[in-house]
Amino acid sequence: MSETIQEKTGSLNDILKMVNRANETFAYEVFVPSLNKNVMFREINTSQQKRILKAVIDSPAYNTEFIFALRNVIKENCVDDVNVDNFTILDKMIIAMTMRAMSISNDLDLQFQIPDSEEKITRRINLKSLAAEAVEKIKIEPISIKDEKDVFEIICGLPTISDEYNLQNELHKNTSSIEIKNEKELRETVGEVFTNEIVKYIRQINVKNEKNEVNQIDLKNLKYKDRIAILEQLSAKVTNKIIDYINSINKEFEKVLLFTEEIKGKKIEQRLKIDSSFFTVS
């Protein structure tokens, strides 16, 4: 009697375990700046790519589903024993670039619109080189911001993957498919995005009392709604300094994400977006 396919290959669980073990051989290194060392990751599989691409229907204001999907894929594919949620958004960008390069294609085509025309030109980007450039060029340090009377001290730094995830999960998990239908909803959404973006960068607030004693408030121990309530009590001058810090971080990211082409005598800028469409084949 001939063997059945089941007898030859084992159960489905056995097959999946065998495939997962085989995938370990395709692991690759990614330099993680916050750890200052290389970390091993597996390639993205078809199921994971599908999950990422499904997030293309995200609300452009929040991008919640993509943040969730990419975090989960990074956690699933990290081979080394490290806490992925402590990776910063800079780490995440470099990991995403390398994952896309290793799992889908190292080449990515970025399109520029020709002025006064429906035509576009394409610039091909080498993602491995871009990730290496990000490691080399982007330098970001935490800062301390104080008010004029030296009562408040705000410690700011890069948000982590956990910061992003918890914010989205707490505040926006049910809003990813909401459409902005009118001007009032647009104003409310812009206001929410403004405060939520700022609070992600605040790690700690130190407050001096009338005895000149310092009370430390660790924001990681607070819900995001409570963090926002505290932020809203800070002076506009302090908030503006935090915004300046965030803008300086965005400029650091633009060293590798912002591309310029001269078309018909005009310099045209295009920003590389790392979203669901980033994980499609160019």
Percent of the chain scoring above 70 in pLDDT: 80
Using alpha carbons, select from 123, 72, 63, 64 the residue that is nearest to residue 272: 123
- Cα gap 204→225, rounded to integer Å: 15
**Tokens encoding 201:** 């960068």
Note the pTM of the prediction, 2 decimals.
Answer: 0.84
pLDDT-wise least confident of 3-12, 23-32, 227-236 = 3-12
Using alpha carbons, select from 200, 161, 197, 142 the residue that is nearest to residue 70: 161
pLDDT tens sequence across 194-245: 788 899 999 999 999 888 899 999 988 888 889 989 998 899 999 999 999 9
Rg (CA), the chain: 22
Per-residue confidence (pLDDT) for residue 264, from 0 to 100: 77
pLDDT tens sequence across 32-84: 999 999 999 999 999 999 999 988 765 555 578 899 999 999 999 999 999 99
How is the chain split into domains, by residue range?
A: 12-138+258-279, 143-255
For residue 60, the tally of other CB atoms under 10 A from its CB is: 8
Amino acid residing at 15? I
Per-residue confidence (pLDDT) for residue 180, from 0 to 100: 44
